[in-house]
Amino acid sequence: MTIREYTRHITDTLQPLYDVHEAAAVAKAYLQARLHLPAHELVLRGNDTLPSPLIGQFNDELLLLQQGTPLQYVLGEAEFYGLTFKVSPDVLIPRPETEELVNLIVRQHRHSPTLRIWDVGTGSGCIAIALAKHLPQAEMFATDISEAALSIARANAKANQVAITFAQHDMLDTAHLPFGDTHFDILVSNPPYIPAALRSTMHPNVVAHEPHSALFVPDDQPLLFYEALALIGTKCLNPQGSLFAETFEGYHEELERLFLSQGYNDFQSLEDINGKKRIIFVFLQPINDERLWIRDERQSILDNL
Ligand code: GLN
């Protein structure tokens, strides 16, 4: 069978699950990754015959795709912020909206001479590792409740050649912080935030395959993780520190109230590429004259959206 014929075969097989464009995109992305070919080569080599020893593996993996396993879990890797990350069903697949969170921090802090950052609930490690790559002056820390996730994050840090201090910690355990008296300039987090009631409205691929502990919150406590983050920040952020987090789009007024009531100042929220309020960043102290560059940089980010 040729590459073109097999691309077609995958597309046809996946069509009950995806619309034709998405099925074709999955087929191409799968074959590019497995044949180590850039997109244009896949087209140019369309008439090449597939190496027969690979066809058995391809058919097995096509079955997984057909059962709704996300492509990144089948391949065992995902792209995020220009880097490659190992992923498994123990960690959430990195999402584009989280790249925007990373981008915001990189832009705001690329000129900060020193930085200490804690990624709370790191999962695959994608936020901490992308920040470590792009803010080489930063001393990076990352925690997760899941040992399985931490072992993936450690492997990802090694593969991407960055040094990160990892520790196992449940972010809801605000009485015990994992890094002692260490203080941070930035706390960053993409905690679980989808209200459980929305489960039935989500794509079956996500619900059936990604870790629920990284996605969902109880309907009666939707801000659970932000309450914990706010408290952690009051204990271990430097006075001039800030907290960045990805959030559910529906709760920004409640989040603003929560952070202001905990003693934070200057609550900001930003929309993601889909126009949903997705990112918050909160400063512990009001921005004073010496730090006006933060305000300028923020304004330029908002102007460029
Ligand atoms: N943005 C993810 C999604 O919509 C959710 C990530 C999270 O809960 N932190 O699937």
Residue spans of the domains in the chain: they are 3-67, 78-304
Give the per-residue pLDDT at 285: 87
Over residues 42-93, the pLDDT tens digits come to 999 999 999 988 999 999 999 999 999 999 999 999 999 999 999 999 999 9
Q: Is the minimum distance from the CB of 284 to ligand 1 under 6 angstroms?
A: no
Answer whether residue 294 shows pLDDT above 70: no
Strands 83-86 and 277-283: unpaired
Atom number in ligand 1 closest to CA 193: 8
- Residue with CA at minimum distance from ligand 1 atom 4: 194
Q: Distance (Å, rounded) from C-alpha 127 to C-alpha 97?
A: 11
Which range among 16-25, 167-176, 185-194 shows the weakest confidence by mean pLDDT? 16-25
Q: Is the minimum distance from the CB of 101 to ligand 1 under 6 angstroms?
A: no
Q: Distance (Å, rounded) from C-alpha 192 to C-alpha 43?
A: 40
Give the per-residue pLDDT at 302: 56
Q: Is the minimum distance from the CB of 7 to ligand 1 under 6 angstroms?
A: no
Nearest to 272 by CA among 122, 103, 157, 114: 103
Compute the mean pLDDT over every residue in the chain, rounded to the nearest whole number: 93
Over residues 173-198, the pLDDT tens digits come to 999 999 999 999 999 999 999 999 99
Q: Is the minimum distance from the CB of 9 to ligand 1 under 6 angstroms?
A: no
Question: What is the identity of the amino acid at 143?
Answer: T
pTM across the whole model = 0.92
> pLDDT category, 287, cuts 50, 70, 90?
low
Strands 184-189 and 194-195: unpaired
Give the per-residue pLDDT at 299: 59
Q: How far apart are the first and last CA of the chain?
A: 46
Superfamily the domain 78-304 falls into:
Vaccinia Virus protein VP39 (3.40.50.150)
Atom number in ligand 1 closest to CA 95: 1
